[in-house]
Amino acid sequence: MRRKTRIGPSWLMGLLIPLALLLAACGGQTSGGSGGGGGGSGAGTTWTLRTSGTSNWLFGVTYGNGTFVAVGNGGTILTSSNGTAWTAQTSGTSNNLRRVTYGNGTFVAVGWDGTILTSSNGTAWTAQTSGTSNNLIGVTYGNGLFVAVGNGGTILTSSNGTAWTAQTSGTSNNLIGVTYGNGLFVAVGQSGIILTSP
């Protein structure tokens, strides 16, 4: 008659401790990469040089609708589906482009002399009327609204990227960057200025 073998506490601990150590060494994960949302090994710490196909300075980049879009001097616009292979697109302007954002199904790029360009796919671009000749340097999207900022305290807003309205900033300082988060638009610029809305 075969006798049943029972695993005692000491044997059980002998199995569990190495397993716990193995999981700890793997960061507590058995599959699926990092716990930070699929960044993968080396994300943010390991960088690879890619070929852009241009020597123009690039100043802005964004991602939306499955496409990376980069913008820069001389009206440069580049697109990529994977961040590795880049294709030059026709912007229709030679003005320097400074920033680009994505929201509400639309890419919006801004630049010198009040330039505003929009695109649904990053490939075909349309010039929009900004109502200003001031250089536009920053643009963002949040809470259903595009906000562009620039020289002379310029602030423009649009719900669709096409029709733009000038807002009163209360400053003549150049505004260089704008973002949205936690229910606030925050614009920054010359001489340490910071503006918030609402």
CATH code for the domain in which residue 122 is found: 2.120.10.80
Cα-based distances in Å from 170 to 81, 97, 134, 155, 174? 40, 25, 16, 10, 12
Q: Please name which of 123, 131, 134, 54 lies closest in space to residue 92, comparing C-alpha atoms.
A: 123
Cβ neighbours of residue 18 closer than 8 Å, sequence gap 6 or more:
none
Residue 151 in any domain: the answer is yes
Question: Does residue 44 sit within a domain?
Answer: no
Query: For the chain, how many structural domains are there in total?
Result: 1
pLDDT in tens, 49-104: 999 999 999 999 999 999 999 999 999 999 999 999 999 999 999 999 999 999 99
Q: pLDDT tens, 128-149? A: 999 999 999 999 999 999 999 9
Judge residue 37's burial from the number of C-beta atoms within 10 Å of its C-beta, 0-12 exposed, 13-18 middle, 19 or more buried: exposed
User: Is the residue at 68 inside a domain?
Assistant: yes
| 180 domain residue, yes or no | yes
Domain boundaries, position 70? 58-197
**8-53: pLDDT as tens digits:** 444 334 434 444 433 344 343 333 333 444 566 788 999 999 999 9
Q: Is residue 172 part of a domain?
A: yes
Residue 14, in any domain of the structure: no
Enter the pTM of the model: 0.80
In a domain, 30, yes or no: no
* 152 within some domain: yes
